[in-house]
């Protein structure tokens, strides 16, 4: 859930050193310190502009303050500037600039930047294009290196991403035992996607001893953390309903908002839900929409479904 996690980091940057619920009073202090050249305050002011807290929402202004902080070597400012360049927020999308600033922050040990840089390496975005097989594998190895560094700093999203890598048999050899270890670390930090994947490993006995009770427990935790498909699995496979139809409707609304905010995993799962008619009413049109959004962010399984649905003429606008 990258977008959600990055939003959490932005909020953390804002609140560092300032009281919760007192942004209106603190904004004057933050601006005064920013104008005086305080890099941490500049990064914090930029974050306020991203969220529209205490100031009008303005991505262009956010970039201006992130750049000031980044040029002074502030790791948070460098990371957030890279994030803006990666997503084309307040500036034209420039993956090369995103990689440059992610690397500067990553080399200072910022876990979020290490994860961001690892993902850029994995996708190849912002990196020189070569055809040599050796370069391709070097890039993949670099991706794992940076993601692992973030995971070892207890970054839940990086831990989940590392678990995904160990189940994919793409970047490195498949290893369900290591996948379970990393999913568990993220799951214990209430990462819904990791909780769901850990549950599925317990169902099949992959990397862990098969255990339906443990699977049910992790599905419940995932559902309570907001994972929509976990709610469906609990109801369909275990006969457990959380909150009845009203609870399902509220969960769909919340999960849809996460997907709207740009989380590709939520987008992919919504696509599955609409394709199969799980909790929501079956709709190929909605399925294709959500698969396409996830595919545009590089979700490989979503790309597969987009291709299948296009070939079958299902849900295409």
Cα distances from 224 to residues 42, 220, 221, 251, 267, in angstroms, run: 37, 6, 5, 9, 18
Residue 205 pLDDT > 80, yes or no? yes
Which DSSP state fits 52? T
In a domain, 103, yes or no: yes
The number of folded domains in the chain is 1
With CA atoms as reference, report the closest residue to 201 among 226, 232, 182, 180.
Answer: 180
Q: Are 64 and 99 in contact (CB under 8 A)?
A: no
* Domain span at 80: 1-153
Domain of 128, CATH number, reads: 1.25.40.10
In a domain, 121, yes or no: yes
What was the pLDDT predicted at 247?
77
Position with higher pLDDT, 145 vs 131: 145
In a domain, 253, yes or no: no
What was the pLDDT predicted at 133?
43
**DSSP string across 125-193:** TTS-----HHHHHHHHHHHHHHHHHHHTTT-HHHHHHHHHHHHHTSSS---HHHHHHHHHHHHTTT-HH
Q: Are 182 and 151 in contact (CB under 8 A)?
A: yes
What was the pLDDT predicted at 128?
63
What was the pLDDT predicted at 28?
85
In a domain, 209, yes or no: no
Query: How far apart are alpha carbons 14 and 9 in whole angstroms?
Result: 9
Most confident of 42-51, 189-198, 255-264: 189-198
15-38: per-residue pLDDT in tens?
454 443 444 457 888 899 999 999
Please report where in the chains the tokens 């500036």 appear, as a residue.
Answer: 91
Q: What is the pLDDT averaged over residues 198-224?
A: 94
Residue 311 pLDDT > 50, yes or no? yes
Query: How far apart are alpha carbons 178 and 131 in whole angstroms?
Result: 31
Residues 6 or more apart in contact with residue 158 via CB below 8 angstroms:
111, 114, 115, 118, 147, 148, 150, 151
Which DSSP state fits 222? H
What was the pLDDT predicted at 215?
95
With CA atoms as reference, report the closest residue to 115 among 191, 192, 9.
Answer: 9
In a domain, 9, yes or no: yes
Please report where in the chains the tokens 């750049």 appear, as a residue.
Answer: 67
- In 3-state terms, the chain is what percent helix, strand and coil (to 5)? 70, 0, 30
In a domain, 112, yes or no: yes
Position with higher pLDDT, 182 vs 120: 182
Min mean pLDDT across 9-18, 80-89, 160-169 is at 9-18
Q: What angle do CA 181, 183, 189 make, to 5 degrees?
A: 110
What was the pLDDT predicted at 13?
52
In a domain, 98, yes or no: yes
What band does 129 get if pLDDT is binned at 50, 70 and 90? Answer: low
What was the pLDDT predicted at 82?
94
What was the pLDDT predicted at 138?
56
In a domain, 165, yes or no: no
Residue 171 pLDDT > 90, yes or no? no
What band does 292 get if pLDDT is binned at 50, 70 and 90? Answer: very high
Residues 6 or more apart in contact with residue 86 via CB below 8 angstroms:
93, 95, 98, 102, 116, 120, 125, 126
Residue 109 pLDDT > 50, yes or no? yes
Residue 101 pLDDT > 80, yes or no? yes
Query: How far apart are alpha carbons 115 and 3 in whole angstroms?
Result: 12
227-276: per-residue pLDDT in tens?
888 888 888 788 887 777 777 788 788 788 888 888 888 898 889 889 98
Q: Which two tokens stand for residue 42?
A: 């500049």
Q: What is the reported pTM? A: 0.59
Q: Are 166 and 144 in contact (CB under 8 A)?
A: no
Specify the long-range contacts of residues 302-306, CB closer than 8 Å, at least 24 apart: 302/264, 302/267, 302/268, 302/271, 305/271, 305/275
Residue 92 pLDDT > 90, yes or no? yes
């Amino acid at each position: 859930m990258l977008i959600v996690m990055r939003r959490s980091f932005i909020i953390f940057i804002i609140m560092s050193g300032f009281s919760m619920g007192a942004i209106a009073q603190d904004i004057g202090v933050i601006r005064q310190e920013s104008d005086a050249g305080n890099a941490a305050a500049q990064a914090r002011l930029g974050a306020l502009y991203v969220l529209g807290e205490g100031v009008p929402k303005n991505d262009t202004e956010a970039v201006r303050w992130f750049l000031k902080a980044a040029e002074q070597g502030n790791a948070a400012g460098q990371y957030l500037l890279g994030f803006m360049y990666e997503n084309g927020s307040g500036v034209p999308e420039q993956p090369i600039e995103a990689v440059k600033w992610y690397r500067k922050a990553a080399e200072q040990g910022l876990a979020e930047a290490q994860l961001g840089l690892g993902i850029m390496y994995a996708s190849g975005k912002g990196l020189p294009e070569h055809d040599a097989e050796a370069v391709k594998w070097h890039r993949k190895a670099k991706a794992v290196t940076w993601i692992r560094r973030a995971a070892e700093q207890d970054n839940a999203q990086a831990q989940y991403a590392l678990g995904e890598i160990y189940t994919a048999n793409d970047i490195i050899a498949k290893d369900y035992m290591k996948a379970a270890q990393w999913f568990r670390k993220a799951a214990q930090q209430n990462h819904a996607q990791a909780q769901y994947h850990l549950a599925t490993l317990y169902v099949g006995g992959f990397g862990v001893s098969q255990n339906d009770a443990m699977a049910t427990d992790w599905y419940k935790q995932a559902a309570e953390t907001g994972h929509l498909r976990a709610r469906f699995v609990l109801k369909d496979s275990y006969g457990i309903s959380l909150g009845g139809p009203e609870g399902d409707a509220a969960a769909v609304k919340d999960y849809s908002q996460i997907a709207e905010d740009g989380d590709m995993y939520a987008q992919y799962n919504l696509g599955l839900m609409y394709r199969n008619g799980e909790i929501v009413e079956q709709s190929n049109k909605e399925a294709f929409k959500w698969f396409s959004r996830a595919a545009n962010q590089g979700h490989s399984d979503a790309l597969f479904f987009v291709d299948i649905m296009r070939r079958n003429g299902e849900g295409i606008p």
